[in-house]
Structure 1
Amino acid sequence: MRIVPLGGLGEIGMNCMAVECDGRIAVVDCGVLFPNESLGVDLIAPDLSWLRERREQVGAVFLTHGHEDHLGALPFLLREVPVPVYGTRFTLALLRPRLDEAGVRADLREVRPGDVRPAGDASPIAAEFFSVTHSIPDACGLALSTPQGTLLHSGDFKIDPAPVRGPGMDLGRIEALGRKGVRLLLSDSTNAEREGTSLSESQVGPALEQAFELARGRVFVACFASNVHRLQQIVDAARAFGRRVAFLGRSMEANARLAQELGYLELPGWMPVSPEEARTLPPRELCVLTTGTQGEPRSALARLARGEHPDLAVSPGDLVVLSSRFIPGNEIAIGQVVNELCRRGAEVAYEGLAPLHVSGHAQADEQRRLIRLARPAHFVPIHGEYRHLSRHAAHAAAEGVAGRDVLVDGQVLELADAGVRVLDEPVATGRVYTDRDALLGADIGALVVRDRRLLAETGLCIAVLAIERTTGAVVRGPELFARGVAGFEGAEEELRAEILAGLGDLSPKARTDPAEVQEAVRLAVRRFFRRTTGKKPPVLPVVLEL
């Protein structure tokens, strides 16, 4: 049996893992990664070529929960590998509109904790779903039964002793599986560097109530739209102080509506108010739930901070609560939004000032507790950057697990009767850069993204000239244009002389070849800027033949 990670090992996001046994394949999760820089790229998906090449062997997809980094790439996979997808009620409810938007029809099969489902006809792999606590309803871990023993996949988890709602983490079932024997534990590593235990989600409620009690104007609360338990606590705090609730942001509105329809979010009939109606309410009677926790420029919170939202505006005396973690890489964008909100006279509260947010991922003590309960013969940390994986493996070593491997995307772990080993040859993995429209089938491409990054860093210089077809003599130009190139302004004549000198070094025959002339122009321009500024901006030479 082989474990093939296609994403999520070496980065936080883009989670996708294949389990291959006796010529059959089960897939656990298929998610996307959100880029830290704006290059016209909304999403980064794993390269699923390895699965597409083996589409006849793939029997099922098992989803641990409904976050985008675990299911967002399914439209790419299911378009070419149409297999059953198993997930819990809320998970599939979040998945359906994404598939509909992409025009993909899928066989979605709902499961509950305790259910066992095979990974396709005649597959030796079956998955048992068990409850875990996370920052989204209906999250599950998986116990995969295989000819090589039980594989325990934690999914994203924390051990929350007092969840806001739901059954809590099924530690009894994990312990029972551990007594019977777990061959391999695959466990969430996100918070491996944080000692101790994570705070309970239910501790956020009192902190929110304290913030509401001190608020003198409107209260805006930004959080992840999928964190329904957080939404419920915000609603409860608003109700305690007689505030009505408005939802801002496409995902916030959609998820709140879906959670209400499915019974995961409870609001009294008097509380919901449209953004248009919210404008007329007295400030102390309104609470606004909004997207934009990570400083996304097009989010509702960022538009409020810039004063560009069509329905509402932040005013002096308003309280803005960021009920979320600052994801590494997003600090600058978040800081800009906070600065703009403060300029508008708002008070801004965020994690660190009070427990206004708690993580949905286990910290070191919880991770070690799971290892003790599962008693695995072998351990592989998942869901994290390399430093997280390495630290988590150290936790397993401290708990006495002798067999440990730290893998990254593409490295294959083989389990056999003779033992466990990492294969010498990795499988091909990579990233597909895309945007929302590309869910319909397009791909921006890594080279395009590389060029966009290069343009953002050094600008672009364009050189246009016309040559006589038979002699190669320069008839006109070179005409020079630049965007974002340091050192260009005022140096045009010197740059033209550099280009003409470069053309003069060509042989008579080469001067009649447009490709040769283009390359000479490109090298001359880059040589000039390297000498004068130390930079090498991209050069677009345009050569016309007359």
Structure 2
Amino acid sequence: MAPPVRIAALGGLGEVGMNCTAYECEGRIAVVDCGILFPNENLGVDVIAPDLSWLKERKAQVGAVFVTHGHEDHIGALPFLLRDVPVPVYAPRFALELLRGRCAEMGIAADLREVRPGDVRDLGEGSPLAVEFVSVTHSIPDACALAISTPQGTLVHTGDFKIDETPVSRRGFDLARLEALGREGVRLLLSDSTNAERPGSSLSEAAVAPGLAALFERATRRVFVACFASNIDRIQQVGQAARAEGRRVALLGRSMEQNVRLARELGYLSFAGWQGCTPEEARELPPRELCVVTTGTQGEPRSALARLARGEHPELTVEPGDLVILSSRHIPGNELAIGQVVNDLCRRGAEVVYEGGPRVHVSGHAAEDEQRRLIRTLRPERFVPIHGEYRQLSRHAAHAAAEGVAHRHLLLDGDVLELSDDGARVLPEKLPVGRVYTDREALAGEDIGALVVKDRRLLAEAGLCTVVLVVDKASGEVVRGPDLFAKGVAGFEGTEAELRGEALRAVEELSPQARADVAEVQEALRVAVRRYFRKSGGRRPTVLPVVLEL
């Protein structure tokens, strides 16, 4: 009998982002991707990483990490893993260079190894798993699917993909290799579900060019274009539209500057020799001769675009008559932030083109028809939808059913699917998975902690009330107070006298022995104040009691 293969979902199944999957066979583990999730709440948290404790506890078994592409939701948490699990990382060229810079910033000496489509890598001597990289198209250079050879047959892990018949970049979707894998036999397909709810097919990246060209042609002043810094093909098309109208190109935003520099060094992006200019040079150019490419498509408050919209950017300003193009889609949860940026830009007199207007964006993910085409191409025995919220996973599983795949497994984070000679089953015990809240600087350090984030959320929702009481250390008698101070507590003003009375009565009802214990007095104050707020209006602010002894 062939040894079983277990597929562990550590992230990305039940949410869009934080993608991480582990393949285990004969005590050896291969990790595919290790990404982050961007929070949609402002709680002082920059990123959310998957809980990697299961991998760290088995670091002697982890043989390598295999990266499908360089987006943050697939590589952003790798430094967090490599700090404790220093294994080789096999990645396509652009993803590798992005990782190299990130690890260097965090002081992590990572073993990064470049791979190209067609390359096969394994976990070292005696490895039961081997991974072949297969070129696919996506909204970042060098995206790859993985064909994983195992004792239980070939597994195909798509990563993020679309089937682009006319790609802007040199490498396209290697349908021929995937067709060959389908003929050879695919035991299990794990496929990107991000756009499973969208009918039809996604448009080619090249479809953006006419819309950009038309907007640039009619623009009479400066043109600002916001797009994802990793979408090098989009930036290339913006550069070409600017060149046709004689415009130079300035870059705003740290990630935009870094990614464009890297893409130009690697030969993935080229501007005309005269086009590039610094923000200082841009200030002196006639408005009709300038294009600015910036970050901030999702309304991030500290992004270059948001600062331009507020008039707070130190380099450039948006002025009446300027054209601002948001070459992106609204990620669910960011609509309010994006709307605020659009409002601010309009207040400054700019014309803003965004989702719903001329075609200035296409998705990098496969829609229903492409997903079904891939299923028909690979003809898998079994199917697992990955990368998506539950509704997207469920819809993708329905597409597989429509294509005749009889065995479908709908997994969520923490689930483990075991393939064996007898078939496949989801193991009854779930893995310990969760979320690690952190910021970019802390990815190589300690996480902020879920309890801290919970406290921040409570403070944001209901505010903070501080109760200060001074007591005599010897007798326990109240010397002063209680004094109350509130931040962000609705209905606090005008209730201070009643609150003070409730708090004082709670202390007076304590026995002399309890009153001599500071912790007992603090708890009495906390309970009394919380009870008052709850009864008077259902409010639940955080109560911070402070007892000082004299």
Taking structure 2 as the reference length, the TM-score comes to 0.98
Residue of structure 2 aligned with 1:127, choices 131, 135, 153: 131
Q: Deviations over 1:104-157 (max 9, x none)?
A: 011111111011111233210010000000000000000000001101001100
User: 2:451 aligned with 1:456, yes or no?
Assistant: no
Residue of structure 2 aligned with 1:469, choices 457, 469, 473: 473
Distance between the aligned counterparts of 1:541 and 1:4, measured in 2?
Answer: 45
Distance between the aligned counterparts of 1:414 and 1:522, measured in 2?
Answer: 50
Q: CA deviation at 1:99?
A: 0.3
Aligned residue for 2:382, secondary structure, equals strand
Distance between the aligned counterparts of 1:166 and 1:28, measured in 2?
Answer: 25
User: 2:316 aligned with 1:307, yes or no?
Assistant: no
User: 2:187 aligned with 1:183, yes or no?
Assistant: yes
- State the partner residue of 2:334: 330
User: 2:223 aligned with 1:231, yes or no?
Assistant: no
Aligned residue for 1:475, secondary structure, equals strand
Distance between the aligned counterparts of 1:8 and 1:396, measured in 2?
Answer: 19
User: 2:75 aligned with 1:68, yes or no?
Assistant: no
Instruction: Report if the CA contact (8 A) 1:223-1:292 is conserved.
Output: yes
User: 2:351 aligned with 1:347, yes or no?
Assistant: yes
Residue of structure 2 aligned with 1:406, choices 398, 404, 410: 410
Identical counterparts, % of pairs:
73
Taking structure 1 as the reference length, the TM-score comes to 0.99
User: 2:169 aligned with 1:165, yes or no?
Assistant: yes
Aligned residue for 2:86, secondary structure, equals coil
Q: CA deviation at 1:470?
A: 4.1
Residue of structure 1 aligned with 2:249, choices 239, 245, 248: 245
Could you list the runs of 5+ residues in structure 2 that have no partner in the other structure? none
Residue of structure 2 aligned with 1:516, choices 520, 530, 533: 520
- State the partner residue of 1:43: 47
Q: After superposition, where does 1:418-457 map in structure 2 within 5 Å? A: 418-457=422-461
Q: Deviations over 1:395-454 (max 9, x none)?
A: 001111011011110001000111100011001001110011202312111111111111
Residue of structure 2 aligned with 1:118, choices 102, 122, 135: 122
Q: After superposition, where does 1:142-221 map in structure 2 within 5 Å? A: 142-221=146-225
Aligned residue for 1:376, secondary structure, equals coil
- State the partner residue of 2:373: 369
Q: Deviations over 1:173-213 (max 9, x none)?
A: 11111111111100000000000000110000111001111
Q: CA deviation at 1:394?
A: 0.5
- State the partner residue of 1:27: 31
Q: Deviations over 1:476-499 (max 9, x none)?
A: 111111111111112111111011
Instruction: Report if the CA contact (8 A) 1:200-1:358 is conserved.
Output: yes
Q: Deviations over 1:497-522 (max 9, x none)?
A: 01112223322322222111111100
Please identify, of 303-312 and 510-519, the stretch whose mean Cα deviation from structure 2 is larger.
510-519
Instruction: Report if the CA contact (8 A) 2:526-2:543 is conserved.
Output: yes
Aligned residue for 2:269, secondary structure, equals coil
Distance between the aligned counterparts of 2:316 and 2:485, measured in 1?
Answer: 43
Residue of structure 2 aligned with 1:255, choices 252, 259, 265: 259
Instruction: Report if the CA contact (8 A) 1:59-1:121 is conserved.
Output: no
Instruction: Report if the CA contact (8 A) 1:119-1:127 is conserved.
Output: no
Instruction: Report if the CA contact (8 A) 2:31-2:64 is conserved.
Output: yes
- State the partner residue of 1:388: 392
> How many corresponding residue pairs?
546
Distance between the aligned counterparts of 2:280 and 2:401, measured in 1?
Answer: 57
Q: After superposition, where does 1:31-110 map in structure 2 within 5 Å? A: 31-110=35-114
Aligned residue for 1:525, secondary structure, equals helix
Q: Deviations over 1:280-314 (max 9, x none)?
A: 11111000000000001111100100001111100
Distance between the aligned counterparts of 1:205 and 1:56, measured in 2?
Answer: 49
- State the partner residue of 1:496: 500
Instruction: Report if the CA contact (8 A) 1:465-1:477 is conserved.
Output: yes
Aligned residue for 1:279, secondary structure, equals helix
Residue of structure 1 aligned with 2:302, choices 287, 298, 301: 298
Q: CA deviation at 1:472?
A: 2.5
Q: After superposition, where does 1:516-535 map in structure 2 within 5 Å? A: 516-535=520-539
Instruction: Report if the CA contact (8 A) 2:83-2:444 is conserved.
Output: no
Residue identity opposite 1:272 in structure 2? G
Instruction: Report if the CA contact (8 A) 1:125-1:146 is conserved.
Output: yes
Distance between the aligned counterparts of 2:192 and 2:417, measured in 1?
Answer: 17
Distance between the aligned counterparts of 1:501 and 1:519, measured in 2?
Answer: 13
Q: Give the RMSD, CA atoms, in angstroms.
A: 0.9
Which portions of structure 1, spanning 4 or more consecutive aligned residues, are displaced by more than 6 angstroms? none
Distance between the aligned counterparts of 1:363 and 1:26, measured in 2?
Answer: 29
Distance between the aligned counterparts of 1:469 and 1:89, measured in 2?
Answer: 68
- State the partner residue of 1:282: 286
Instruction: Report if the CA contact (8 A) 1:133-1:159 is conserved.
Output: yes
Distance between the aligned counterparts of 2:437 and 2:541, measured in 1?
Answer: 23
Distance between the aligned counterparts of 1:131 and 1:124, measured in 2?
Answer: 23
Residue of structure 1 aligned with 2:18, choices 7, 14, 17: 14
- State the partner residue of 2:421: 417
Instruction: Report if the CA contact (8 A) 1:137-1:166 is conserved.
Output: no
Distance between the aligned counterparts of 1:393 and 1:506, measured in 2?
Answer: 62
Instruction: Report if the CA contact (8 A) 1:518-1:542 is conserved.
Output: yes
Residue identity opposite 1:474 in structure 2? V
Q: Deviations over 1:242-300 (max 9, x none)?
A: 10100111011111111111100011110001001001111110000000000011111
Q: CA deviation at 1:537?
A: 0.5
